[in-house]
A = this chain, B = another copy of it.
Amino acid sequence: MRLSRFFLPLLKENPAEAQIVSHRLMLRTGMIRQQAAGIYAWLPLGLKVLRKVERIVEEEMARAGSIQLLMPTLQLADLWRESGRYEDYGQEMLRIKDRHDRDLLYGPTAEEAVTEVFRASVKSYKDLPLNLYQISWKFRDEQRPRFGVMRGREFLMKDAYSFDVDEASARKAYNRMFIAYLNTFSRMGLKAVPMRADTGPIGGDLSHEFIILADTGESAVFCHKDLVDMPAPGHDVDWNDLQGLVDQRTALYAATEEMHDEAAFGEVPEDKKLSARGIEVGHIFYFGEKYSKPMKATVNGPDGEVTVHMGSYGVGVSRLLGAIIEASHDEAGIIWPESVAPFDVAVINLRPGDEACDAACEKAYAALTAAGRDVLYNDTDERPGAKFASMDLIGIPWQLIIGPKGLAEGKVELKQRATGERQTALFDDVLNQLITGPKKIDA
């Protein structure tokens, strides 16, 4: 993408309404723009990151055997009356009447909707286990929306739902999501800690939140320090038996404020105790027959009709962008992990109009694009200092800086955003390095 043809409305000033760094940086970099309280337009830069985060979530869900569908944003109130949640849900549910005076609502979650899809389609236990997920816009009418996408009203959520013939099988489904979540967040450069959590309006008796530690987190959390740096399990696992991997993590103390047990925490060795603040990026639930029973979601089992056991599994997709920025930024702006960066490489032309600079930049842009790199070619007339500042601000991992002085010796500069390290080398060598895969600069 040529910057001159892109739409990147950067803000020069720090927006006054933004209290936390991710909100401030998302506004300043032109990733989002507020349209109403807690409702944002995703401008091109923000949308590009959102899509990359979605792709990672999709890949990890597929790996864990979940199948993607897409339910509508608006749901019938009658479905929620079947489960008994319509009256319970309170003011966070946006209730709507259509032209025929039918009660609709903007889905804050979709347990009822997916249970309806399930009961209409699945008749035999042989079709289980089944795990269905969607990535879709939800609405929760927060009393006081704040912190940008961290607590918005219209937000993008991945929600998966598992259907199993009995509790033992449902626990396996739960474990698959548990492990998939650790891998998902790890791929985004995040250290997510699974913590025992309250089940709230979803229900059930088993639940974990996945928490990113951050000073700006909304809730207090308590955990054993070893959990923070425990590596994600990765993909080389036995998806049919993950209990060991889950136990390894749940054996250590970790709980959100609502579930905190001061006595149990007291048993954690003093030097391993961590009380901190956290951002919830995922939440998984096992709730058995809570929805399947009132909504009559049953299958024919080998010994007669069985009510299915369900769980649900949420990832705050739009919120993740805020969490990633909270975890990865500096004074100059955002530092995107390569996996979710809006562009892989910025090509910075220090003197547009100079024949040699233009030719070298065009060559780099074409070669990197052909190699599958997502390139932002900064071809504008801004002065070099402004270009460096804006590319740092939006956090592109690699900056290829091309100017007339270096080119006279056949050289260009490569800067790594995360470390600030710069390297001057022959143009073709740098290009080759970026094409074969950006690696850490060898000093």
Please list the residues of chain A having a beta carbon within 8 angstroms of any beta carbon in chain B.
5-7, 9, 30, 33, 35-36, 39-44, 47, 50, 65, 67-76, 91-92, 94, 96, 98-99, 102, 104, 106, 113, 116-117, 120-122, 130, 132, 137, 139, 141, 143, 153-154
Contact = CB atoms under 8 A, between A and B. Distances in A.
Contacts of A102: 36
Given A72-B40, A96-B96, A6 B67 contact: yes
A92 B141 CA distance: 23
A247 to B, nearest CB: 27
A41 B67 contact: no
Contacts of A96: 94, 96, 106
A81 to B, nearest CB: 13
8 contacts: A5-B65, A35-B71, A35-B113, A35-B116, A36-B76, A42-B71, A98-B141, A137-B137
Contacts of A137: 72-73, 137
B43 A69 contact: yes
B154 A33 contact: no
Given A43-B117, A73-B73, A74-B106, 5 more contacts: A35-B113, A36-B75, A39-B74, A43-B121, A47-B68
A104 to B, nearest CB: 7
Nearest to A62: B1
Closest 5 CB pairs of A and B: A9-B121, A42-B70, A41-B71, A91-B99, A39-B72
A69 B42 contact: yes
Given A68-B47, A141-B98, A41 B117 contact: yes
A68 B51 CA distance: 11
Contacts of A74: 36, 39, 106, 139, 154
Chain copies in the assembled complex: 2
B94 A70 contact: no
A72 B35 CA distance: 8
Contacts of A39: 72, 74
A162 to B, nearest CB: 12
Given A72-B40, A76-B35, A94-B96, A30 B65 contact: no
A33 B120 contact: yes
Given A35-B116, A113-B35, A69 B5 contact: no
Contacts of A33: 117, 120-121
Given A96-B94, A132-B7, A68 B44 contact: yes
Contacts of A113: 35, 41
Contacts of A36: 72, 74-76, 102, 104
Nearest to A71: B41
Nearest to A121: B9
A35 B67 contact: no
A312 B73 CA distance: 25
A9 B119 CA distance: 11
Given A35-B116, A36-B76, A74-B154, A69 B98 contact: no
Nearest to A90: B99
A379 B416 CA distance: 48
Given A91-B99, A99-B141, A7 B67 contact: yes
A120 to B, nearest CB: 7
A98 B33 CA distance: 20
